Structure 1
Amino acid sequence: MTPAAAADAVRRTESTLTVRSADGAPCADREVLVQQLRHDFAFGNIGFDFVGLANQEQGGTRENVFGGADPEAAQRLEGLWLDVFNTATLPFYWAGFEPVEGQPDTRRLQATAAWFRERGVSVKGHPLVWHTLTPDWLGEYPASEVEEIVRARVRREVTALAGLVDTWDAINEVVIMPVFSNEERQNPITALCRRIGRIPTIRLAFEEARRAHPATTLILNDFNLSTAYECLIEGVLEAGVQVDALGLQSHMHQGYWGEERTLEVLERFSRYGLPLHWTETTLVSGDLMPPEIVDLNDHQVDEWPSTPDGEERQADDVVRHYRTLLGHPAVEAVTYWGITDQGAWLGAPAGLVRTDGTPKPAYDALRGLVKDEWWLPPTRLRTDGEGRVPVCGWPGDYSVSIGDRSATWQLRRDAPISEATLA
């Protein structure tokens, strides 16, 4: 089976929809118009660029580590972003979120999350606990107090964003956390993880977040996809920590992994029976990073331009990668790491839109998958004598209408029978 056929076979489902009028009577032998409104699958991208726009800021925006586009540029990107993606990741990197102790960026991130929610977009926070970007002031506290400060930080953010943020990367990159070195100073979260251990550190992040908002989805996230991460996952699950999904990063600055490697990773991590979220995905549209680079952060160049040949390669890679991921039933979410090259991580031309605001071929290719190949176009069908009509499509939100009367309904794999009452 080809990757294109595999994705469709895994995702497409059938449902029998019964259409009723406002009085409950079935709309028998009537032509109805069925339209898809939203995918259930989480097609994600970072929402960093829209913080300033969502807060109606003028000119530059307060930088939250990775900053974002100025409001005018974000306004030009808005339509492109919303036309493809339905899930936004917002930045809660502690160093940028609370550079001054007691002055967190809560209000602006609440406003940004609400801005996305108003546009039908689900919101994820990234991350609650991470060793790399800790605020300078945390290092002033004695080691004996750091754990409670971290716990309080988790509770505060999850509580403040409850109802706006559905999902959190509860903790990030724990495989290297206790051995991470910083030449300038010892990282207090690394020191905490070294002192109490990886699994207790993961437990504190998950349990504090769960207590603050029991309905949230909590992810264990890492870039290290070796057996070390597998061993960590096994230990966490054996310890009874409730993990809702496994996060897998795939920054492919050195080139697309290919279907074989991607499928091998999927098989290894799907055996835990947990949903897989591909939390950070990039594919470059310029020269590839040299293969001998071990830590991607070590690749420093003055310029890293997008090129015509690179853009064609990126478009092909994006299609191959997404088809492979969506062809596996364990995958529930894929987040592309950046809509635009402007301000992209490591300066790489990994965005789907050029710095001048024009879409690359990769953007058009991904949109073609999400909104064409994997999308049910407006379809006219006829109900039977009981008001029933079969509908086949990808799970998500749909509408059905007769004339000016309409209703929304949900196509679900686990619900082969649906009803909609026109209003």
Structure 2
Amino acid sequence: MDHRRGSAEVTVVGPDGAPLANADVTVEQTRHAFTFGNIGFDFIPLANAEAAASAPPSAFGAAAVEGLAELSDLWLDLFNTATLPFYWRGFEPEEGAPDTERLLRTARWFADRGVSVKGHPLTWHTLAPEWLVDRPIDEIEQLQRGRIQREVSNFAGVIDTWDAINEVVIMPVFTAEKNGITRLAHSIGRIPMVRLAFEEARNANPSATLILNDFDLSSAYECLIEGVLEAGIQIDAIGLQTHMHQGYWGEEKMLAMVDRFARYGLPLHLTETTLLSGHLMPPEIVDLNDYQIPAWPSTPDGEARQADEIERHYRSLVGHPAVQAITYWGLTDDGAWLGAPGGLVRADGSPKPSYDALKALIKGEWWLPRTALRTDADGKLELSGFFGEYAVSAHGHTANVTLTAASTNTEARLV
């Protein structure tokens, strides 16, 4: 984990501008530099003060409105980045009537609580609008370009990270349902689809972080990435989905996969991760969506297994220098994707052992709690810890400092 940690000499400066010599100060971490994320779908009604009866349904399910305040406390105590849903069919069910204000209020709700926000996704064949299906190809392309421009522009400054395009490998040959985006991808090809998504998003917000995301982690995705890079398309990170409904892959398989994609020299985002605390999906199932059953309970044995796997999974990935982000796909079993018991919190709102195991890493082993230190005669102290943000306090005044790999000397000016 040495690549995640550092030290810096911090000069603590008082409100009068003079170094605070031989002074007792406290230092505590306030945020990780590493992205520990989860979806924020559940909290859209909470952020918009919606009652249960008035909350529109989510395309991918969501927890019941009751109890969301308590659930949000668990969420905010563990994660620093929220993914919000921009599935086009649900976001704009009627042409020209996007759900902009509701999602914008939700994004600001998270931002006000110190959480970074990511949008998912700007381009995807699944859950494309039904009103798009039979439009002419040229019109579909223009509507898709306009949709990207609109969302990235409207949310700039609140959401500056996007899955620009999702699941391109299967996009032009997708057959599960008829949709306009597959027709467009089949017509113009995969790489032009990627160019369309990234260039429109980049033009709308030049400072945005744009991710190419896929569940197909085979050589087909590697070929796509190589073609995209050879075409001169700028991608900021490679997204890797790891829904492990059929069982934890194990460190060896997971890290071998990560190494394959790390060779492109781009940050890797584990964008969608799930590990189950109930029985595993049968191994013969090819498409996870094909296994949806009336009840899929969490079990004591499953919860113990999930806790062990969560710790191993996060420890191994945070230990890999190419990995920049891990987003877990759901906090609670209530309304979970495919009804699977993949949450870190039971449907009744109580944390599972996996929640405690992950918290013991993120806010325990990898976290600097409130610590008493003392400056020297020159007002200096040494700050050591995981890269991230820290608060330095003395005599009722506080300064915020950031610890990075480049940090050697920095100043904490108390205000």
Aligned to 1:146: 140
CA contact (8 A) 1:40 1:395 kept: yes
SS at match of 1:25: coil
Q: CA deviation at 1:70?
A: 3.7
Residues 1:10 and 2:3 aligned together? yes
Tell whether 2:288 aligns with 1:296.
yes
Partner of 2:180 in structure 1? 188
Shift of 1:189: 0.7
Amino acid at match of 2:56: R
Counterpart for residue 108 of structure 2: 114
Matched, 1:37 2:33: no
Post-superposition offset of 1:71: 3.2
Output aligned runs, 1:23-422, within 5 Å.
23-60=16-53, 61-183=55-177, 186-422=178-414
Contact 1:154-1:209 at 8 Å conserved across structures: yes
Q: Does structure 2 conserve the Cα–Cα contact (< 8 Å) formed by 1:340 and 1:355? A: yes
- CA distance in 1 between counterparts of 2:79 and 2:60 reads 20
Gapped regions of structure 1 (runs ≥ 5): 1-7
TM superposition shift of 1:68: 2.4
Work out the CA distance in 2 between the residues paired with 1:287 and 1:71: 27
Larger deviation: 138-147 or 321-330?
Answer: 138-147
Instruction: Give 1:77's aligned amino acid.
Output: L
Q: Which runs of 4+ in 1 moved over 4 A?
A: none
Cα distance between partner residues in 2 of 1:349 and 1:273: 35
What is the CA distance between 1:81 and its match in structure 2? 0.2
- 1:151-189 CA distance string (max 9 Å, x none): 000001111111110200000000110110135xx3211
Instruction: Name the Cα RMSD after superposition.
Output: 1.0
**1:90-117 Cα shifts (integer Å, max 9, x gaps):** 0000011111111111110000000000
- Counterpart residue identity of residue 398, structure 1: Y
What percent identity do the matched residue pairs reach? Answer: 63
Matched, 1:21 2:19: no
Q: Deviations over 1:269-311 (max 9, x none)?
A: 1111100000000000000111111111111322110000000
Q: Secondary structure at the match of 1:140?
A: coil
Q: How many residues align?
A: 414
Letter in 2 for 1:36: Q
Shift of 1:67: 4.1
CA distance in 2: counterparts of 1:422 and 1:302, whole angstroms: 57
Which residue identity does 1:49 align to in structure 2?
D
Residue of structure 2 in register with 1:4 after alignment: none
Tell me the TM-score normalized by structure 1.
Answer: 0.96
172-181 vs 59-68, greater mean Cα deviation: 59-68
Give me the whole-angstrom Cα distance separating, in 1, the residues matched to 2:65 and 2:286.
36
Task: Give the Cα separation in 2 of the matches to 1:404 and 1:307.
Answer: 48
Separation (CA, whole Å) in 1 of partners of 2:64 and 2:250:
35
The letter of the residue matching 2:127 is L
Code of the residue aligned with 2:175 in structure 1: it is: S
In 2, Cα distance between the equivalents of 1:9 and 1:27? 30
Counterpart secondary structure, 2:52: coil
